[in-house]
Amino acid sequence: MRIHQYERVWLLASMVLIVGFIATITYGAVGLGITMVDDRGATIAPDEINEDERFGDPRVEQVGDDEYEVYAVAMTFAFQPDPIEIPADSEVTFYVTSRDVIHSFYVVGTNTNTMVIPGEISVVTVEFDEPGEYGLICTEYCGAAHHEMEGQLAVLEDEEFDLTELEVEAPDEVEPDGEIEITATVTNGQLEAIEETVTVELGDETLEESVTVEGDESESVTLTVDAADLGEGDHDWTASAGDLTESGTVSVVEGSEDDTEGGDDA
């Protein structure tokens, strides 16, 4: 075959280019440890999501000293949880699946970017060094309101970050001769123990108690007041732990049904 000398030179140069490109990518993968989204996540059918231990309750979980896992669900046209809060200087693994069509999970302006396909779980591990606020968007067309699908990713200072939750159980109505029991439960989602001062107020009564909650445990504090001391009518209560606060109202009424209903989660 007749090939001009210059063309041979260019053929060689082209091969050098191609091999150079492949070498760069390989260096990124092997030398720098950049890894692709792949098949390491299990499969999950969209109709299994609600019963799933991880995705049934989309959340952030601490799994190691500075290691966190985020179980996130994408759906038309939102992400769960939203916002996602994680501490700075941590290694975060996102597990993302879809409830319906194909979405994506893209932390805007970063390389944290993956497709989200129903039936599959995308797994991506990244390190967030600095605190900051990021936009989280879906970049795969997913329907008429695709452009409204956005969430927030907040990387918080270590001291601002916690996975502490406050849950309060209090009755709505109590007979005048009954007792009012307000139970505040502090749950520590992190691995290290935390110290919290729990305060429960009802009328003039105040209970303040310091509790130590072990990692992945919860502690409860209960304030008990005689309804007779408060008298008939509506009485406001508040419960707080750290910067979390819950409040509600209990009514002391004749002939009421004593149904207890928990307060909202923190």
Partner 1 sequence: MPNGATFADAYPTQARHIRAAFWASFLSLGVGAFFGLIQALHRTDILRVIESQTYYTVLTAHGVFLVISFTIFFLVGVFQWAVTDSLERPPVDMRFTWGWYGLMSLGASLTAFAILAGFTDSIDVRANVLFTFYAPLQAHPLFYVGLVVFVVGTWLAGADWFRSWLAWKGDNPGERIPLPTFMVLTTMIMWYISSIGVAVAILAFILPWSLELTGSLNPTLTRTLFWYFGHPVVYFWLLPAYLLWYILLPKLAGGRLFSDPLARVVFILFVLLSTPVGIHHQYLDPGISEGFKFIAMTNTMFLLLPSLLTAFTIIASMEHGARQRGGEGYFNWLTALPWRDPAFTGMALAGMVFAFGGFTGIVNAGMNINYLVHNTLWVPGHIHTQVGTAAALTFMAGAYWLVPQLTGNRLVGRGLALVQVVLWFVGIVFMTNSMYRGGLVGIPRRTAEPQYEGFEYEVAAGSVGELNAQLAIGGTILFVSAMLFLALMVLTAFNGGTEPIDDGSIPPALSGPEDSPAVLDNLKLWVAIAAVLVVIAYSFPLASIVSRGGLFGPDIGPIPVAIDAASTVARTALEAVSAVVR
Partner 2 sequence: MSNVARQEDPASVERIEHDEFDPVGTLALIAFYFAVLVLLWLFTYFVEFLGNVPTPVVVA
Residues that bind partner 1 (CB under 8 A): 1-4, 6-7, 10-11, 14-15, 17-18, 21-22, 24-25, 28-29, 34-39, 41, 43-48, 100-102, 104, 106, 108-123, 133-137, 139-148, 150-152
Q: Which stretch binds partner 2 (CB under 8 A): 33-41, 48-56, 71-79, 199-207?
A: 33-41
Q: Which of 129, 159, 254, 259 is close enough to bind partner 2 by CB under 8 A?
A: 129
Q: Give least dist CB 3 to partner 2, A.
A: 11
DSSP string spanning 36-100?
---TTS-EE-GGGTTT-TTTSS-EEEEEETTEEEEEEEEETTEEESSSEEEESSEEEEEEEEESS
Count, residues in the chain: 266
Q: Which of 11, 15, 19, 34 is close enough to bind partner 2 by CB under 8 A?
A: 34
Task: Name which of 3 and 144 has its Cβ closer to partner 2.
Answer: 3
User: With CB cut-offs between 5 and 8 Å by kind, which of partner 1, partner 2, none does residue 222 bind?
Assistant: none
Query: Rounded distance, CA 66 to CA 72, Å?
Result: 19
Please name every residue paired with 211 in a beta bridge, in sequence order, or none if there are none: 196
Please name every residue paired with 154 in a beta bridge, in sequence order, or none if there are none: 85, 133
Integer-rounded Cα Rg, in Å, for the chain is: 27
**Binders of partner 2: how many residues, by CB under 8 A?**
32
One-letter identity of residue 155:
V
Task: Name which of 9 and 228 has its Cβ closer to partner 2.
Answer: 9
Task: Name which of 35 and 245 has its Cβ closer to partner 2.
Answer: 35
Q: Which of 8, 11, 12, 13 is close enough to bind partner 2 by CB under 8 A?
A: 13
Query: Rounded distance, CA 7 to CA 2, Å?
Result: 10
Q: Give least dist CB 156 to partner 2, A.
A: 15
Distances 253 to 128, 178, 180 between C-alpha atoms, Å? 53, 10, 12
Please name every residue paired with 223 in a beta bridge, in sequence order, or none if there are none: 182
Task: Name the residues that contact partner 2, by CB under 8 A.
Answer: 2, 4-6, 9-10, 13, 17, 20-21, 24, 28, 32-37, 91, 93, 107, 109-112, 114, 124-129
